[in-house]
Amino acid sequence: MRATLMYAAGDVRVEEVPDSVVKLPTDALVRITASAICGSDLWPYASLEPEAGPARVGHEFIGVVEETGPEVTTVKRGDLVVSPFAISDGTCEFCRAGLQTSCVHPEAGFWDGQPAEGAQAEAIRVPLADGTLVKLPDEPGPALIPSLLTLADVLGTGHHAAVVGGVSPRTRVTVVGDGAVGLLAVLSARRLGAEQIILMGRHPGRTSLGREFGATDIISARGAEGIAAVRDLAGGYGSDVVIEAVGTMAAYQQAVGIARPGGVISRVGVPQFEDAPVGWDSLFRHNIRLAGGPAPVRAYIAELMPDILNGTIEPGKVFDASASLDGVPIGYQDMADRKVLKVFIRP
């Protein structure tokens, strides 16, 4: 079968690899029909050392179950399924608490980092299939597939940011970052009824989609100027919830500057740093809280899917390009160059 391999920064190739097969009784083999390139894939695309490669890549997919191990009970051959970006057993104490990204099962983990599997490929072996996969309606129609694919990561991640930030009808929200996750955090904040949603971004195509998703204001300035503009719009003292959907130190500092006393910074951008200011001048003085982490999107699929199926939300609008597997290397470069927002892959 064919799969995407990242050899090093800037070097993505599609090659023949050994066929994925069912190995354990709890596995499923899924033929991938829709996949994507994620903004978080751009971090290794910018920095992967050749010694660390080649790595299988891709962590968002929809596909058809081709085979299941004898212990799999919730999906069967022929089912259309979506997979979250994390593998989980669905039964441990963290899974039961809705924190599947902290599953303690030895086979649990993230698709990124699986040595022999990746979602930018023709097929994939899914460990712990009962806990990991979610069955989709049998024939949702091609128009709904991009939106259903966002349940694998970007919609669930934007929703998680809003939920752990405590967004409610009375909250003023600022979203730092105009990538797919930032834009879907806007949609999620709107869906939860936020009163004001300020989107910080400077790419006109993205900010106009942000408005369509529910942003009430757009701020293109950054740094001290951006902080002052947001505080001004948010009643002078800043936002109740700041969703940080980038992961850089600059974005974190922006969030610290924008959070209102007693407010929450909700982080879903994968942090590219370990040390950050949390002391008197940054968080402590005004009781600002930090929340966020890898989103347990598995926990949110049941809640979010009906809104996609009945047309209330259309998160698939974040896909502004599509490619076959052969087009994946160019898709990476186009996303890295910010020529396109997010690439939909038809393997």
Compute the distance between CA of residue 325 and CA of residue 343 in angstroms, rounded to an integer.
11
The least CB distance from residue 130 to Zn ion, in Å, is 11
The least CB distance from residue 128 to Zn ion, in Å, is 8
Among residues 95 and 308, whose Cβ is nearest to Zn ion?
95
By the rule CB under 5 A, 215 interacts with Zn ion: no
Question: Partners of 30 in the beta sheet?
Answer: 65, 124
* Per-residue mark of binding to Zn ion, 40-79 (x: CB under 5 A): ----------------------------------------
Number of neighbours of residue 208 by Cβ within 10 angstroms? 12
Which pair of structure tokens corresponds to residue 186?
């806007």
Q: Any idea what DSSP says for residue 173?
A: E
Sheet of strand 2-8: strand arrangement: 11-16, 2-8, 55-56
Among residues 86 and 246, whose Cβ is nearest to Zn ion?
86
Among residues 24 and 276, whose Cβ is nearest to Zn ion?
24
The angle formed by the CA atoms of residues 44, 47 and 50, to the nearest 5 degrees, is 95
Name the one range near Zn ion by CB under 5 A: 94-102, 153-161, 188-196, 243-251. Answer: 94-102
By the rule CB under 5 A, 3 interacts with Zn ion: no
1, 42, 92, 309: which one contacts Zn ion (CB under 5 A)?
92
Among residues 91 and 324, whose Cβ is nearest to Zn ion?
91
Which pair of structure tokens corresponds to residue 301?
């699929």
By the rule CB under 5 A, 87 interacts with Zn ion: no
The least CB distance from residue 267 to Zn ion, in Å, is 23
The least CB distance from residue 138 to Zn ion, in Å, is 28
By the rule CB under 5 A, 99 interacts with Zn ion: no
β-strands 217-219, 239-244: how paired?
unpaired
Tell me the site size for Zn ion, rule CB under 5 A: 5
Cβ-count burial 46-66 (b if 16+ within 10 Å, e if not):
eebeeeebbbbbbbbbbbbbb
Are 49 and 3 in contact by the 8 Å Cβ rule? The answer is: no
Are 85 and 153 in contact by the 8 Å Cβ rule? The answer is: yes
Name the one range near Zn ion by CB under 5 A: 45-53, 85-93, 261-269, 287-295. Answer: 85-93
Among residues 89 and 240, whose Cβ is nearest to Zn ion?
89
Question: What residue ranges bind Zn ion (CB under 5 A)?
Answer: 88-89, 92, 95, 103
